[in-house]
A and B are shown apart, each in its own frame.
Chain A
Amino acid sequence: MSLVYFIAIPILASFLTPFYKNYLRFVSVLVNILLAGFAAFFYSRLPLNEFISLDSPLSIIFILDYVSFFFVSLFIGVMLFFSLYSIKEKNNTAVFVVTNIFTSGALGLILSADIFNIYIFFEIASISAYILTGLNRDKVAYSGAIKYMIVGAVASIFLLLGIMLMYLNLGYLTLSSIGAGFHTMDKGIQYLVLLSLFIGFGIKTEILPLNFWVADIYQATPTKIAALFSAVLSKAYLFVFFHILYTLKVDAPALLFLTAIGLLSFAVAELSALRSKDVKRIFAYSTLGQLGVLFLALSSANVVVVSGALFLILVHSISKLMLFFSLDLVEKKMHSTRVEAFAGFRSAFLFTIFAIGFLSLLGIPPFAGFIAKLTILKGFASMGAYGIVGAILAISLVEATYFFRLLSANQRSKKTAEIKVPLLQKIMLSLLALAILYLGLFPQGLLDFCTDAAQTLIQGVIHV
């Protein structure tokens, strides 16, 4: 059994599309089930290193430790959910072709432990994301996709700059050796490397001030795909960035800077959502806000906080899947994602789903978001960083205002259309809602795993 299968199988499934063009949706489900099976197989064998070639600079190393396992299983889960959810969409072969490539890009990003492969998968994931953005094939979609591509290209340039600088100065590309040698480099070069990595990944992890493009992209993207961006893509970049950062053992002031940026990012994003008139944009802002929180929590180098952040990553992915998929149903019926359209639908089921998603994102018990938030705040309290606790709570209040505004808009206005949710969608969305409730009531098992994962992440990739 090799870790390569995680990357090879989905990409192969896409390339072989001509053989089963009309059945790709079923193949996608099968692929994801297969991947889930692999993940289950590897679970008992953690942690795992796999060297494909040892000769530098072409060495390819995959690592599956607790933290990458966490992300791998999360992404496979999300993609499996996505493919099952859309299994009835016969005429949408293009989506499945690209999402499979997208899957392998994201999984590759997580598993790679050498910086050259990280760049390759970074590009694979990004390019498939540009294509996904343009899938609606209208003016908005194309302009969004082109904008995304331009900004993404800038990000790649900076990332490449950072990688080049490291390779020029150290002569190797594996994360573990770079981690060991990083501090032997000249201080100025170190700074430049970190700066280019920060800019490159900062654009992709959507933090201030590098995220001004995001809301437009989300709006141009088909709603269900936006869920994937929010649940998978941004998380993958986030993980890789902090994986590299902790491996390089950056010093405290740099981490502090990232914390401040994260907090600022959170504040500005939530503030922007306050008066937004479009639900999809509001969800995009909310994603930006949550990414800000994650950024700030992951940069704390504290096991409790980071484990809370990992928990939050899972919960946020589930919530955003739920919200975007439900919004997709609303959009199909109302032909718009404006707040007025959102206010006009009638469906007790969807309303409940939205309510659970919002409450969980706000960190309100008894939903899982609360546990994540509590763990993060507890961790900051044990570090004595009460200012951050206060700031997070204060900004969350802004978040609460607009989420509840949406709910009350729907509860109070005249309903114009009744939405009948198909059975499959109903079951899938209920499963997500139940997962959020379950994790809110019985979080201990997952929290323990997150603690292990957090330790692995903070330790970085060790030289072997």
Chain B
Amino acid sequence: MKWLAVFLTLVGLGLALGWPQFSQLAADSWRRHGTPRLQQPEGWPRPVYDFSGNPLSRAGFELGRALFYEPKLSRDDSIACANCHQQFVAFANAGHRLSHGVNNALGTRNAPALFNLAWQPSFMWDGGVHPLEVQPLGPISNPVEMAETLAGVVRKLQDDPRYPPRFAAAFGSPRIDGQHVLLALTQFVGTLQSADSPYDRYLAGRVRFNAQEQRGLAVFRAQCVSCHREPLFSDYSFRNNGLDAEPRDPGRAHITERAEDRGLFRVPSLRNIAVSGPYMHDGRFETLDAVLAHYAEGIVSSATLDPALRQGLKLDAADRAALRAFLDTLTDERFLHDPRFADPGEDS
């Protein structure tokens, strides 16, 4: 009887609202309260990370979320992933060229924004890490970040009465191990999907661009898209974009040990770019205007400079203003404020 009542209510609601509104309402409600599922929007490639090996569950996702906001992941219990990856700036580190680790140690590279990671083939600015599951080992164990070991994290979580039951719910055993810590974190960071910016709505025909945005899109597609490939806004290659004649950070060459990879860094996505500065692998540019000025007139020549940038980009003042307007359309407000990704707080 109860189910019949629910069914009739739903049918009544559907009739009263009309199907499109009703389905939108149902979808929104699900989006707010449900466990995220990875969507493959129209025009997107298949994700690189395959969740079939790490089946998403509410318990697993919520555990990953709790761990992302858990300072016990650092040696002195002072710093969580979320300290340097803040949701309101697309999980970048607001206002920090470099981030502070335990004992106020300073890192050497800018904390990247986190979203659409399931589509990203390799991680870190030098691409040394893949697949996604093992990425958290880097920040957890880096002496200038969390300075902890995975074994230490496992020990602390095992001793915290809140965690064994949550691991049991997610993975079937209250005995915590490194694999389950990393799989849970992957369920959270791997479902941070940003695909609902004004640009996406424009592509779907749901909103229009004004003339400035329209022009910015044209400039973007003429000059930027070869590296910042749509719809993910990166081709995930490694390139030297002309920052230094003699790079201090070897970048990609740190992994490959090849001279031709010196000073090459991963091409970052431009989604949410307006909110996720400072920019570049070392956070040297505070503003997007500084970034565009660099591409227009600041390219420094070196042996490994990307061929596409030898002449710099042809961007006059009007082009840059239009590009700025277009880049603003890549900010996904819904993602920045999605309650499912927020700090679960003490009461979780």
**Are A and B subunits of one complex?**
no
> Which A residues form the contact surface with B (CB < 8 A)?
none
**B interface with A by C-beta (< 8 Å):** none
